[in-house]
Amino acid sequence: MTDTLNRGARIGILGGGQLGRMLSVAAARLGFVTHIYEPGANPPAGHVAHAVTTASYEDEAALTAFAQSVDVITYEFENIPTQALDLLEAHRPIHPGREALRISQDRLTEKHFLRDLGLQTAPFADITDLAGLQAAIAEIGTPAILKTRRFGYDGKGQARLKTPADAEVALADMAGAPAILEGFVDFSHEVSIIAARGLDGQVACFDPGENVHEAGILRTTTVPARLTSAQKTDAVLLTANILNRLDYVGVMGVELFVTPQGLIVNEIAPRVHNSGHWTQNGCTVDQFEQHIRAVAGWPLGDGQRYADVVMENLIGDDMDRVPALAQERDVALHLYGKAEVKPGRKMGHVNRITRAT
């Protein structure tokens, strides 16, 4: 355990995308100074950071210099190579910790972890070859979805199976990577809960948001979500269960399917999460500041929500709508400063305040 960070302490952030960008702004707001580590040139987070290192996760000299320049390290994405983490951790503490990364980096490990906690997940099977896939389909049924165990995000590394006949093509899509078959869950809607755990073990949850995806990418998150009081309590308890078991420090996003049989955990993300962006315009302490508070050993915000919000991602050509959105009252724009618009690329988001509460 590190101590509480002092004023002006330096926080290293692995990853320079929009999450790193918004973390950097939150860190500055608390008086901290940030250093971004990102392999890609001109990262969005670099526009609002004190220092940027442009280097790969294999560059040991750059990693070492980065670690030594900061007081604590955090990250915007979970797929950081293990060797880089080993090297960084030799110099400075990393929050959230290695156990959370180990589990969330591998869908199979994650599913076992969740089951061991007594939580419901989709039916799943470890897939190594076609025979195994066919056997798993026989047990789990179709429709189902084949996913690489590692390095998937925003629908990448996934293949849908409508019928058992899709097995061969789906497996080929995995390109030889270890995979997991996940069975169909008959859910009414998806919610996610953004929660945080402090260095002292304090847990705070934001209100669950209701998510709508399109083409595997989050489209909108709406608060409040359609949940009964009992479901909300379940969501909070199971999330706290996950955080405590991992001795977690930081913000985590937990995606849940709402079904008549209860809440089914879809996946966990050991970081700030797209479905928590609404907190920027719905809470005094948003998910980004909450994460920095946890990592810095500060007291957490309590998660209190002061408005109903609909967060909508601006993806690709949605950027053409910005001039019109800028004229809408009660719409807060959050653009990421990405130079190039690409289909499927998250370019920004808006938080539309639908009601003060």
| CB of 121 or CB of 221, closer to a second copy | 221
| CB of 190 or CB of 289, closer to a second copy | 289
Encoded one letter per residue, x for contact with a second copy by CB under 8 A and - for no contact, window 27-66 reads -xxxxxxx-----------xxxxx----------------
Region from 55-63, 181-189, 243-251, 303-311 binding a second copy, contact rule CB under 8 A: 303-311
C-alpha to C-alpha distance for 147 and 116, rounded to whole angstroms:
21
The answer to whether the peptide bond before residue 164 is cis (omega within 30 degrees of 0) is no
| CB of 32 or CB of 278, closer to a second copy | 32
Q: Does 112 bind a second copy (CB under 8 A)?
A: no
> What is the smallest separation between the CB atom of 287 and a second copy, expressed in angstroms?
14
> Given candidates 118, 175, 186, 329, which one binds a second copy under the rule CB under 8 A?
329
Q: How many CA atoms lie within 13 A of 28 on its CB side?
A: 15
> Given candidates 126, 307, 308, 345, which one binds a second copy under the rule CB under 8 A?
307
> Given candidates 330, 342, 344, 354, which one binds a second copy under the rule CB under 8 A?
330
Q: Does 2 bind a second copy (CB under 8 A)?
A: no
Could you tell me how far CA 195 lies from the centroid of its own chain? 11
φ, ψ of residue 63 in degrees (nearest 5):
-60, -45
Q: Tokens 């076992």 appear where? A: 112
C-alpha to C-alpha distance for 127 and 62, rounded to whole angstroms:
37
| CB count in 10 Å sphere of residue 181 | 27
| CB of 177 or CB of 326, closer to a second copy | 326
C-alpha to C-alpha distance for 111 and 141, rounded to whole angstroms:
18
Q: Does 24 bind a second copy (CB under 8 A)?
A: yes
Residue among 62, 25, 60 at smallest CA distance from 46: 25
| CB of 55 or CB of 341, closer to a second copy | 341
Q: Does 322 bind a second copy (CB under 8 A)?
A: yes
Q: Does 130 bind a second copy (CB under 8 A)?
A: no
> Given candidates 72, 114, 137, 332, which one binds a second copy under the rule CB under 8 A?
332
Q: Does 282 bind a second copy (CB under 8 A)?
A: no
C-alpha to C-alpha distance for 296 and 9, rounded to whole angstroms:
9
What is the separation, in whole angstroms, between the first and last Cα of the chain? 38
Residue 179: which H helix or E strand, with range?
strand 179-183
C-alpha to C-alpha distance for 145 and 277, rounded to whole angstroms:
27
> What is the smallest separation between the CB atom of 8 and a second copy, expressed in angstroms?
6
Cβ–Cβ < 8 Å for 20, 27 = no
DSSP annotation of 165 reads G
Region from 74-82, 131-139, 173-181, 320-328 binding a second copy, contact rule CB under 8 A: 320-328
> What is the smallest separation between the CB atom of 235 and a second copy, expressed in angstroms?
22
C-alpha to C-alpha distance for 291 and 198, rounded to whole angstroms:
9
> Given candidates 215, 302, 321, 354, which one binds a second copy under the rule CB under 8 A?
302
Q: Does 8 bind a second copy (CB under 8 A)?
A: yes
C-alpha to C-alpha distance for 279 and 293, rounded to whole angstroms:
15
- The residues that touch a second copy, with contacts defined as CB under 8 A, are 7-8, 21, 24-25, 28-34, 46-50, 281, 284-285, 293, 298-299, 301-302, 304, 306-307, 319, 322-323, 326-327, 329-337, 339, 348, 353, 356-357
